Amino acid sequence: MTTFLRHSLWGLACLIAVCMTSPAQAQVIKVKQAELEKVESAWLLNANFGIELPSGLENALKKGVTLHFLVQFELTRSRWYWFDEKAVNVQRQVRLSHQPLINQYRINAGGLALNANSLVEALRIAGTIGGWSVIEVSAIDADKQYEAALRMTLDLGKLPKPFQVDALNSRDWSLSGEWLRFPFNASMSSVTGRK
């Protein structure tokens, strides 16, 4: 009887632990569409991300905290004899801020600065990447098959220090991005990846 009771209590404890950890899922930034387009000596990336801010991040943004997003692009080639070869690994920062006095949002990305009148418009602009040169033609072999990978995440390291502590302890501050992976062959003129 004591063994049965011990197993029952153990099972109940495990069930409670699972129920308590499931709501803490991080919010996700999703890649809606990505396309690599070949120009003269490079491949340009065009992509759209769906960004939804949790209430904690939205409130912080409206109070003057700048949000830094990190867009990562990788191009890898698998090798049977060793680790995968990383042919390309590039990053790009996208900054989103709110100017309370004029009630406008400002987006800085790739050397461009744009304004938006609403948060929905600002997130759409921040989640749009156009004409970003990610692959030099000379860096890859046209006869080999590669895998392209793309994601966007909130860069917690760029938040002010007090907010970094909140980000580690609260799901309202968690905003992660899923990788979109798709095959890439340099002999094509354009390559599209979708989720």
Tell me: pLDDT of 189 over 60: yes
pTM over 0.85: no
Could you tell me which residues are beta bridge partners of residue 185? Answer: 145
Q: Which residues contact 128 (CB under 8 A, 6 or more apart)?
A: 47, 48, 49
DSSP class of residue 63?
A: T
Question: What would the pLDDT profile of 155-174 be if each residue is shown by its tens digit?
Answer: 887 877 666 656 656 666 66
What single letter denotes the amino acid at residue 62? K
Question: What would the pLDDT profile of 7-49 be if each residue is shown by its tens digit?
Answer: 444 343 333 333 333 344 456 899 999 999 999 889 999 999 9
Question: What would the pLDDT profile of 111-139 be if each residue is shown by its tens digit?
Answer: 899 999 999 999 999 999 999 999 998 88
Contact 135, 36 (CB under 8 A): yes
What single letter denotes the amino acid at residue 37? E
Per-residue DSSP letters for 109-170?
A: ETTEEEEESSHHHHHHHHTEEEEEEEEEGGGS-TTSEEEEEEEEEE-GGGS-HHHHHHHHH-
Which of the pair, 164 or 150, is modelled with greater confidence?
Answer: 150
